[in-house]
Amino acid sequence: MPKISVKGHNMPESPIRKLVPYAEEAKKRGTRVYHLNIGQPDIKTPQVALEAVKNNSIEVLAYARSEGSETYRKKLASYYRRHDIDVSESDIIVTTGGSEALLFTLGSITDFGDQIIIPEPFYANYNGFSVANGIEVVPIESNIENGFALPPIEAFEEKITEKTKAILICNPGNPTGYLYSEEEIVKLKNLVLKHDLFLIADEVYREFVYDGIRHHSVMSQEGLENHAIMIDSVSKRYSMCGARIGCIVSKNPEVIQTALKYAQARLSSPTFALMASEAALETPQSYFDDVIHEYDERRKVLINALKEIKNVRVSSPKGAFYCIAELPVEDADDFAQWMLEKFEDEGETVMVAPASGFYSTPGSGKNQIRIAYVLNKESLLRSVELLRLALDQYPG
Amino acid sequence: MPKISVKGHNMPESPIRKLVPYAEEAKKRGTRVYHLNIGQPDIKTPQVALEAVKNNSIEVLAYARSEGSETYRKKLASYYRRHDIDVSESDIIVTTGGSEALLFTLGSITDFGDQIIIPEPFYANYNGFSVANGIEVVPIESNIENGFALPPIEAFEEKITEKTKAILICNPGNPTGYLYSEEEIVKLKNLVLKHDLFLIADEVYREFVYDGIRHHSVMSQEGLENHAIMIDSVSKRYSMCGARIGCIVSKNPEVIQTALKYAQARLSSPTFALMASEAALETPQSYFDDVIHEYDERRKVLINALKEIKNVRVSSPKGAFYCIAELPVEDADDFAQWMLEKFEDEGETVMVAPASGFYSTPGSGKNQIRIAYVLNKESLLRSVELLRLALDQYPG
């Protein structure tokens, strides 16, 4: 029997997916499972995006232009300019989701055996995209004590080798909810300029910032034009995760030209989703005001409720819709599985994402979980109550 | 300025794309350009697929299941069983186009520096996917003399090294239109079994076979269960290239489990396109009868007209909707560009794909072009007339 590759063998399983069979079993037993484990919002997709697809007059569902149509990229550039990001359509390659944007970026700037530095905990699939590209993730641990702020810049500098090609951040962060300050972005900027590295910022949660704090994009930093690469996506912004449209944005023409070759090799992004994404740019500000108000309320309700549980420590997220909670358990993987397998209260239980999958340092984050506040307030409160009851009863 | 990677540098440009700026210039001058260069059919997408999307009742455009829904995979399995391919839903991973299916396949079975053997000329993007995976394409030249039949099996065996992981074929072939006989498939089967290699078959043109000949899938070969991997796509079958839905099919459970990890890392295929693709399986047989009749007519018209041009040699395609023509020119790249830049007849010219981009042996196919018969008969006849006139006038 022919063998799969070492790379294929090393591809990580999704840390969330490992628990899915247990959740399915629980449901089969008739237990209601509250899903705090995934970043799939319950927020409605803007009507204008859905209508564009429903009212389409397509007769031949043809390939779209590999890099996205000029019209769509122009509209995207104008959206970015409204967010203090001064780019034009030629700085943008439209991709099939933020996932593909990151895959093309890594393919464009790294070779087999290269390294990228990422503050951990980080979005788990960065691991998968790195394995797929044959490169090594060098993690730098951030801490719940200061809400997962940027680790000291010296910690980054210590890890830079001749194989280091980029520093990758997620801002605001999944899974931490941390929003980097301009001061932190400037520290990273000075470091990448000094060592001539790329600074990749996954900014897909740009709109989701709270407490009146402003988001600072790597694309707004003067002098960083050739070094900054932004990853973006319509998934969270318009609650259209199933569209699979994202983009790479960079003022570095070589990066864009190289990413374009990757885009051409796969021919096209999905045409229906491109229609929805272009129309979504017409979403009225009131939609965002409502959505962000809703997330902000959920965030407060969730964090306050979590803080009331004895021996639970929780970070105070300033952006995105996740937080990390530290639990009084030794192994959150085991606890999360136990909640699905053995625990229920009045026929209900809760599913969380063990945070260990968001760390690449073995053993880190073992007592942490990620919670996505993508459910309504009532469900969130009930979920936290279930978590509290489960912690009381957990034998582990 | 930070550098792009060697891999990014080596990513090939699309051989078709290089000519696009010249075509755009020609159009700006008011010249009508007949496009024989791309595989974008003019055939209408089945109504049932388009209607499914128009009548959707989605409120939250959510992620789809990474490997495709069980329902869709069950329906796909039933479609395959009707084509003598005995698979179940667990043998299928739904992908974002045939492109992603190939990317996941190569990621699952090859490591950096590995080799795959491909008869050339071959679909140009196989090069891109190979570079993206850091692997080497080992070409084996097939010839226009015998219509691009399978080269002698000894030629394959000579090229097998310990780095060889797979043989990749496209059946029926893009760009050749060649349809492998069962005897040829069996030869490949015996070879991959002997050397324990994978046999990857890109069968996206399965339906498009002519002259009453049957298509033989690698998935229908007994004893090849662990070695055969099929790449498929809805793009050509239902003239929905812009959907971007395909799949990997294999009875080898390790291949499927590994491809699943790649699928999970990118979360989901596009949801609207999945709706269209699932509905497309309800397309009535009459649609295919009509479409195949239409392509068959075009094929005859095109081949006959090409054969009438002096010093032009053309293969007789038995499947897909391409043929390779050998022209009395030294450099078809130059000729194709010249037709766009310098030639016109009554305000019209024609765009073809130089075949050199479909070869990986340097210098091969220099006097060949690929023609896609995706235009109606009248346009095809006029295109061939333009080609004839251009050959008469070409100074090169």
In a domain, A49, yes or no: no
Based on the fold, state whether residues B136 and B265 are members of the same structural domain. Answer: yes
Range of the domain at A182: 57-280
Residue that terminates a domain, selected from B280, B306, B328: B280
Give A329-373 pLDDT, tens digit per residue.
999 999 999 999 999 999 999 999 999 999 999 999 999 999 999
A214 and A357 belong to one structural domain: no
Contacts of B198 in chain A (CB under 8 A): 2
Domain contains B1: no
Question: Do B225 and B84 have their domain in common?
Answer: yes
* Residue B338, domain CATH: 3.90.1150.10
- Shared-domain flag, residues A233 and A371: no
Alpha carbon distance B151, A298 (integer Å): 65
Is B128 touching A (CB cutoff 8 A)?
A: yes
Contact B96/A96, CB-based, under 8 Å?
yes
Q: CB-based contact (8 Å) between B43 and chain A?
A: yes
DSSP E strands in chain A: the ranges are: 32-35, 92-95, 115-120, 136-141, 164-170, 198-202, 228-233, 246-250, 313-314, 322-326, 348-351, 353-354, 368-372
User: What is the ipTM, given to two decimal places?
Assistant: 0.96
- The last residue of a domain, from among B228, B250, B280: B280
Using the Cβ of B239 and the Cβ atoms of chain A, whether some distance falls under 8 Å is answered with yes
- In 3D, which of B306, B316, B362 has the Cα closest to residue B36? B306
Q: Is residue B81 part of a domain?
A: yes
As a whole number of angstroms, the distance between CA B102 and CA B331 comes to 31
Residue-wise pLDDT tens digits, B93-121: 999 999 999 999 999 999 999 999 999 99
B286 touching A (Cβ < 8 Å) = no
Q: How far is B49 from chain A (nearest CA, A)?
A: 10
Extract the tokens encoding A207: 């709109």
Q: Which of A257, A280, A303 finishes a domain?
A: A280
Asked whether the beta carbons of residue A63 and residue B40 sit closer than 8 angstroms, the reply is: yes
CA-to-CA distance for A355 and A331, rounded, in angstroms? 10
CB contact (8 A) between residue A50 and residue B59: yes
**B265 → closest Cβ in A5, A128, A166:** A128
Sheet holding B115-120, edge to edge: B92-95, B246-249, B228-233, B198-202, B164-170, B115-120, B136-141
Range list of β-strands (E), A149-202: 164-170, 198-202
Dig out the tokens for A57 from the structure. Answer: 């007059």
| Three-class SS state of B235 | coil
* B52 in a structural domain: no
Q: Identify whether residues B218 and B314 lie together within a single domain.
A: no
User: Is residue B241 domain-resident?
Assistant: yes
Question: Structural domain tally of chain B?
Answer: 2
| Residues A294, A276 share a domain | no
Q: Tell me: do A297 and A206 sit in the same domain.
A: no
The alpha-carbon gap from B310 to the nearest alpha carbon of chain A, in Å, equals: 35
Task: Check if A6 contacts B (Cβ < 8 Å).
Answer: yes
Do A185 and A143 belong to one domain? yes
* Interchain pair A107, B54: CB under 8 A: no
Rg (CA), chain A: 21
| A117, A160, A269, A272: best to mutate for the B interface, most B CBs within 10 A | A272
Residues A210, A275, single domain; the answer is yes
Do A68 and A195 share a domain, yes or no?
A: yes
Edge-to-edge order in the sheet of strand B322-326: B313-314, B322-326, B368-372, B353-354
For residue A19, what is the DSSP state?
Answer: G
* Cα–Cα distance list, B133 to A135, A220, A341 (Å): 12, 33, 40
Q: What are phi and psi of B155, to 5 degrees?
A: -65, -35
Question: In this structure, is residue B237 part of a structural domain?
Answer: yes
Which of A1, A43, A60 should one mutate to test binding to chain B, selecting the residue with the greatest count of B CBs within 10 A?
A60
Residue B351 lies in a domain: yes
Same domain as B160, residue B221? yes
- The CATH number of whichever domain residue A97 belongs to comes to 3.40.640.10
Q: Which residues on chain B are in Cβ contact (under 8 Å) with A272? A: 53, 242-243, 270, 272-273, 276
Residue B154 lies in a domain: yes
Partner B contacted by A266 (CB < 8 A) = yes
For residue A254, give the H/E element and its range. Answer: helix A253-265
pLDDT tens for chain A, 396 residues long, are: 999 999 999 999 887 788 989 999 999 999 999 999 987 888 999 999 999 999 999 999 999 999 999 999 999 999 999 999 999 999 999 999 999 999 999 999 999 999 999 999 999 999 999 999 999 999 999 999 999 999 999 999 999 999 999 999 999 999 999 999 999 999 999 999 999 999 999 999 999 999 999 999 999 999 999 999 999 999 999 999 999 999 999 999 999 999 999 999 999 999 999 999 999 999 999 999 999 999 999 999 999 999 999 999 999 999 999 999 999 999 999 999 999 999 999 999 999 999 999 999 999 999 999 999 999 999 999 999 999 999 999 997
Q: Are strands A246-250 and A228-233 parallel, antiparallel or unpaired?
A: antiparallel
A136 touches chain B (CB under 8 A): no
* 3-class DSSP assignment, residue B336: helix
Residues B257 and B137 occupy one common structural domain:
yes
pTM of the model: 0.96
